[in-house]
Amino acid sequence: MAAQPQRLTVERRKVSRHKSFLRGTINLNNRQSVLDCLIRDISPYGARLIFSGAVTVPDVLELHIPQKDQTLRAQVIWRHGREVSVAFAQYVTIDGVTEDGKLDERVQRLEAEVASLKRLLRQMRSSVLRELKVD
């Protein structure tokens, strides 16, 4: 059996998308109907959506991200099976996902917070151990 040739993909986006696992909903018929999706990749300019089955979505849609409390107007760029790629009508900031390095700042801030919580946990453990030894 001959090996299949590897496909080389060329990144044409302004900014690479970040992996995500966000629940989304597509508002249809003037928000009378809702279609659930999973947001797998996202950037300030667009996202890749995955649906549980074959669906038909309009070329222009409203994507609501409940976890972020954001509703974004988007244009469908491509469709492939259960996947749809969309471009946002305007640049958006989604929890540190930006093109200008704010993600790095957020990671540093979160790492400092984790270190602080680890110190607090160690202090609490030693305090509990001391109390157990006293009793």
DSSP type of residue 66: G
pLDDT in tens, 66-115: 988 889 999 999 999 999 999 998 877 765 454 455 666 777 788 888 88
CB 121 within 8 A of CB 129: no
Predicted TM-score (pTM) of the model is: 0.58
pLDDT in tens, 19-33: 788 999 998 888 888
Q: Which residues contact 36 (CB under 8 A, 6 or more apart)?
A: 23, 24, 25, 26, 51, 52
% the chain with pLDDT above 90: 33
- The mean predicted confidence, pLDDT, of the chain is 81
pLDDT at 127 over 80: yes
State which fold the 18-88 domain adopts: Thrombin, subunit H (2.40.10)
Domain boundaries, the chain: 18-88, 101-135
